[in-house]
Amino acid sequence: MNTRVAEPPKPGSDHDGLLVTNMRKAFFPGTPNEVVALDRVDLLVHPGDFVTIIGSNGAGKSTLLNAIAGTFPVDRGSIVIAGRNVTREAEHTRARLVGRVFQDPRAGTAPSMSIEENLSMAMLRGQRRGLRRGVNGNRRREIQDQLGLLGMSLEGRVSAEVAKLSGGQRQAVSLLMATIAEPRLLLLDEHTAALDPKVAQTIMDLTGKIVMERRLTTLMVTHNMELALRWGNRLVMMHQGRIVLDVGQKDKSGLKVADLVAKFHEVAGESLVVDRMLLD
Amino acid sequence: MTGILTSGLEQGLVFSFMVLGVFVTFRVLDFPDLTVDGSIVTGAAVTAMALTNGWSPALATATGTLAGFAAGTVTGILHVLLKSGSDATNYGPKLLAGILTMTGLYSLNLRIMGLGTSATARSNVPLLGEPTLIESIENLLSIELTTWRLIAALAILALVIKLVLDWFLHTEVGLAMQATGDNEQMIKALGVNTTVVRIAGLGLANALVALSGALVAQTQGFADIGMGIGTIVAGLAGVIIGEVLFGSRSVTWVLFSVIGGSVVYRLLIAGALRVEQIDPTDLRLLTAILVVIALATPTVRRKVVRM
Ligand SMILES: Nc1ncnc2c1ncn2[C@@H]1O[C@H](COP(=O)(O)OP(=O)(O)OP(=O)(O)O)[C@@H](O)[C@H]1O
Ligand SMILES: [Mg+2]
């Protein structure tokens, strides 16, 4: 496909969000083990939208985010981010547009490098890297400012190895790394699930603050229905590779956990185990 | 005693570039690269052939070094072809890529040393009477490079290469290279083509290894097909000894440490050779035992687990 695409349109225009059309992804296709992880998925996300995504284990939530980020090619359908058709682009090419935070705090950072080195690398997201110094005065100042906003006293420890940080601190740094270069799309995959409740709360509050301040278009996968209802202006439920529920701001504000459970039983059948969704 | 000291220092410095190269592959790229047994000979062979064909020592050394770079990129490309998926901790394809290049280089090195002679292949190129880098420096400074002056010159070269490598690893590209070995998925998600970075990194590492080869040929006066055997283990010994004795608190520091490790290792070897019962042919066994002993130490094991 065409590799030279026009610059993404300015923020606020209609095409500045995310458009996924008729997407399909199967693992082990053509074998007895074939798993259709995504099937006929259509999703239009407007710029600045904060979409929460719920669904049972294996519903295809992570696969959807991986497909958008380009971890693997999809079988069918197209992905347009900020007006740019990225369907055939390599992961590192579309990385310019997409910031991600994973469940595992170790996934988003380079452990044996320092906090400032990690954040300096993140500031160059999608840019050509050259033989200039990676951590320079300007970057260090901005990094300290940004770390200050976290309220974790990390601004005084910029040269500390990331491996020495706690899980929560590390996830906060991951979140900053994903957002510091203002991506056009932020993908969060259960990014507070591995943290203890208090730390999870802190990271979620930070996430909300950063997403609001920078008006980032965001998809957030969670198993916690309370979180899914409290945060964001839209809620999507997935089941067996399909989007089975999609509610906007107006309807979402009236929704309760019990309504979601009922909806879930409706699509999945009573017999299906939803314990993980209920327990969280 | 001074014999042990001077020969240990000289050898340690000559091989310090190889140890830096092994450090770049094992530690920075998390890529246990076996190419080095071949690329050190390539560096020596290409340099020796260039010298016997009348090239200036500086140009010959640079060409040998570049040949090592090329060998490293071949390993990087083979790795791309051999690996399936993007599991960074899958060392099988990495080891195999290095073994394949090393094996191929064995024949190629014999061919290189036979270039321009009646033989198609040669296992040895003597440099008797050829001007080497040592004479170039003597002419440049109009002094005679006595043993200690040669050691000083090598130390300065090691320092310069160390500073350049240190600088490079802290540039934007260098940080991306460090991250490729530390958390590839993360740096990929920041838009870096880690495939290209890894190929370049392997090139860089093997260029350093070949530089050692070029200097070995010029200080001992010949290039030889057998000189590469056991390079990887010797390099590993230098890295581990350096890290254990001198620490690895930062990249800047650890680059000094591994140069120190290279010197300590060669001092140990030079000392061992003075023991009557030990024959030079025993050295590789001794090195292997040394690495095993080091690995058996818990503090070392913790460091090496990352390899
Ligand atoms: N890389 C992969 N290889 C093979 N199968 C996969 C892969 N990734 C996902 N799958 C399969 O695709 C289906 C959807 O998985 P996915 O990880 O997207 O679910 P999920 O909604 O994120 O679930 P969870 O809530 O458990 O994280 C599952 O059946 C899973 O086994
Ligand atoms: Mg998942």
Binding site membership of A139 for ligand 1 (Cβ less than 6 Å):
no
Is residue A121 in a domain?
no
Is residue B43 a contact partner of residue B68, using CB atoms and an 8 Å limit? yes
pLDDT single digits (tens) A113-140: 999 999 999 999 988 999 999 999 999 9
For residue A83, report the phi and psi dihedrals to the nearest 5 degrees.
80, 5
Rounded Cα gap, residues B134 and B131, in angstroms:
8
pLDDT single digits (tens) A46-75: 999 999 999 988 999 999 999 999 999 999
Is residue A139 in a domain?
no
pLDDT value at position B90? 82
Q: How far is CA A76 from CA A16, A241, B207, in A?
A: 22, 14, 44
Minimum CA–CA partner of A187 in chain B: B189
pLDDT value at position A7? 44
CATH code of B116's domain: 1.10.3470
pLDDT beneath 50: ranges in chain B: 307
> Which residue has the least CA distance to atom 28 on ligand 1?
A58
Instruction: Provide the domain limits for residue A39.
Output: 18-97+183-279
Is residue A13 in a domain?
no
Strand (E) positions, chain B?
Answer: 124-126, 222-224
Instruction: Provide the domain limits for residue B264.
Output: 2-306
Minimum CA–CA partner of B186 in chain A: A108
* Chain B residues with a Cβ under 8 Å from any Cβ in chain A: 168, 170-176, 178-179, 182-183, 185-194
Domain count, chain B: 1
Domain count, chain A: 1
Do the Cβ atoms of B190 and A117 come within 8 Å? no
Query: What separation in Å is there between the alpha carbon of A36 and the centre of ligand 2?
Result: 15
pLDDT value at position A3? 39
Find the CB nearest B182 among A113, A120, A132: A113
Average pLDDT, chain A: 87
Interface contact A11, partner B, CB < 8 A: no
Indicate if the pLDDT at residue A149 is higher than 50: yes
Q: Please, which contacts does B194-199 make with residues 24 or more away whose CB atoms are closer than 8 Å?
A: B194/A92, B195/B80, B197/B173, B198/B29, B198/B31, B198/B76, B198/B79, B199/B72, B199/B73, B199/B76, B199/B77, B199/B80
Q: What pTM does this model have?
A: 0.89
Is residue A7 in a domain?
no
Do the Cβ atoms of B176 and A122 come within 8 Å? no
Is residue A132 in a domain?
no
Mean pLDDT on A152-157: 89
The sign of the CA dihedral A101, A103, A105, A111 is: negative
Is residue A262 in a domain?
yes
Indicate if the pLDDT at residue A274 is higher than 80: no
Rounded Cα gap, residues B245 and A237, in angstroms:
57
Interface contact A29, partner B, CB < 8 A: no
Label residue A98 by pLDDT band (50, 70, 90): very high
Pairing relationship of beta strands A185-189 and A218-221 according to DSSP bridges: parallel
Minimum CA–CA partner of A92 in chain B: B191
Is residue A218 in a domain?
yes
Q: How far is B14 from chain A (nearest CA, A)?
A: 28
Of B133, B115, B138, B110, whose CA–CA distance to B224 is shortest?
A: B110
Rounded Cα gap, residues B183 and B197, in angstroms:
13
